[in-house]
Amino acid sequence: MKVSIQTAAHDDILRQYRYYLVEKDAARIAQQFLAAVQSAVETLSRTPEMGTPKHLENPLLAGLRSWPIPRFPSIRLYYIYAGNTLRIVRVLHGKRDIYPLLGEDDEV
């Protein structure tokens, strides 16, 4: 299966990594976060229908699902599985209002 990480998702991952590294002064946790993201992507590449469906008005986001990052359950990976491609759209805190963020996303 092909995995594609959108620019916004890549930026989200780096932002969270820097937060742990700089704001929390926790290099070990920052590295664990990166490993947990990789683990989530690997899990979803094997069973992509596992995530919770999300319904948005943006037709480009049809089939959007979310999945918690292991050991960081408040952070969720938002993705679309279509054909043979797992497309990671965003990686956001679960308490954020994703609808304005994703509903206007034109990079999908």
Domain range holding 59? 2-103
Q: Is residue 24 part of a domain?
A: yes
Looking at residue 104, its pLDDT comes to: 55
Q: Is residue 93 part of a domain?
A: yes
Q: Is residue 49 part of a domain?
A: yes
Say how many domains are in the chain: 1
- Indicate the pTM of the whole model: 0.88
Looking at residue 60, its pLDDT comes to: 82
Q: pLDDT digit string (tens) for 4-49?
A: 999 999 999 999 999 999 988 899 999 999 999 999 999 999 999 9
Looking at residue 89, its pLDDT comes to: 94
Round to whole Å and give the CA distance between 27 and 17.
9
